[in-house]
């Protein structure tokens, strides 16, 4: 296999679109998620359309040690990962103290721990080869606290910070890390987070355009890709100067299901 991209969360949404873009460049793929049927459908479609090779590895990344198991399976198949897309993630609606702590723990395991572990496992060999690219799907949620999805926003703040920190550490090693930061996107995320009916997704953009912006930013080795240009302006030029309590109230109102 050549120019292999390993994509977590490839069975739907942004991850599936990242897979299509990667495949369209004639690059091979490892697709990871829990729903094996969706992954197999995508494998068949991409292999037929682009004459590439696609491996499917079903994996629940909320399980402890899942990243280690995934890394071992890739090693057993003797595949070199050139592009790592840490994309799998999910949100969760509700007041923090009322939410099931188990669900918050699972979210942290998926959004933070698995992403951190996979980066730690695949990065050293990229540094050794002096080549490799990592795209971490963060969110515009990573730039502010998020009442009514507090843990989700905090996990994405971790991803934004983590990606930039590691990117600087390896900036002379031929490896780049990019944080893709979308605003609301039309995917299964809204339903999985229990957020159907929140006003937040009224202005949601397509997963295809979001993935393309992230993929292009990764190719250029950019640190951060805020894929929604209106939100990019607000995050850079309004949010840092707005009173924090006002921001908190606004985010809470935007997310609350009425």
Cβ-proximal residues to 107 (8 Å cutoff; 6+ apart), any chain = 90, 91, 92, 151, 152, 155
CB of 36 to ligand NAP, least distance (A): 8
**Does the active-site annotation cover 215?**
no
Q: DSSP letters along 77-141, please?
A: TT--EEEEEE-------S-GGGS-HHHHHHHHIIIIIIHHHHHHHHHHHHHHHT-EEEEEE--GG
CB of 214 to ligand NAP, least distance (A): 9
Under the binding rule (CB under 6 A), the answer on residue 9 touching ligand NAP is yes
Residues 98-157 that bind ligand NAP (CB under 6 A): 110, 137, 139
Nearer to ligand NAP, 139 or 176 (CB): 139
Phi, psi of 8 (to 5 degrees): -90, 145
Decide if 184 contacts 203 (C-beta within 8 A).
yes
Nearer to ligand NAP, 11 or 178 (CB): 11
Under the binding rule (CB under 6 A), the answer on residue 224 touching ligand NAP is no
Distance CA 137, CA 93 (A): 19
Nearer to ligand NAP, 205 or 250 (CB): 205
Task: List interacting residues with ligand NAP (CB under 6 A).
Answer: 8-15, 33-35, 38, 59-62, 87-90, 110, 137, 139, 182, 184-185, 187-189, 192, 207
- Active site residues per annotation: 152
């Amino acid at each position: 296999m050549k120019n292999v991209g390993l994509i977590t969360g490839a069975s739907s949404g942004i991850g599936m679109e990242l897979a299509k873009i990667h495949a369209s460049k004639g690059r091979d793929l490892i697709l990871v998620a829990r729903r094996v049927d969706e992954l197999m459908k995508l494998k068949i479609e991409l292999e037929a359309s682009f004459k590439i090779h696609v491996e499917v590895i079903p994996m629940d990344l909320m399980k402890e040690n899942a990243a280690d198991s995934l890394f071992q399976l890739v090693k057993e198949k003797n595949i070199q990962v050139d592009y790592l897309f840490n994309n799998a993630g999910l949100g969760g609606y509700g007041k923090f103290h009322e939410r099931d702590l188990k669900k918050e723990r699972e979210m942290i395991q998926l959004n933070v721990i698995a992403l951190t572990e996979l980066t730690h496992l695949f990065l050293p060999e990229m540094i050794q080869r002096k080549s490799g690219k990592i795209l971490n799907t963060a969110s515009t949620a990573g730039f502010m606290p998020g009442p009514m999805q507090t843990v989700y926003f905090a996990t994405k703040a971790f991803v934004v910070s983590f990606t930039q920190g590691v990117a600087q550490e390896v900036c002379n090693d031929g490896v780049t890390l990019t944080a893709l930061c979308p605003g609301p996107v039309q995917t299964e995320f809204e339903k999985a987070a229990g957020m159907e009916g929140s006003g937040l997704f009224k202005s949601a953009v397509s997963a295809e355009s979001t993935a393309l912006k992230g993929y292009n930013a990764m190719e250029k080795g950019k640190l951060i890709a805020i894929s929604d240009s209106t939100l990019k302006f607000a995050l850079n030029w309004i949010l840092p100067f707005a009173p924090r309590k006002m921001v908190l109230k606004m985010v809470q109102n935007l997310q609350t299901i009425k």
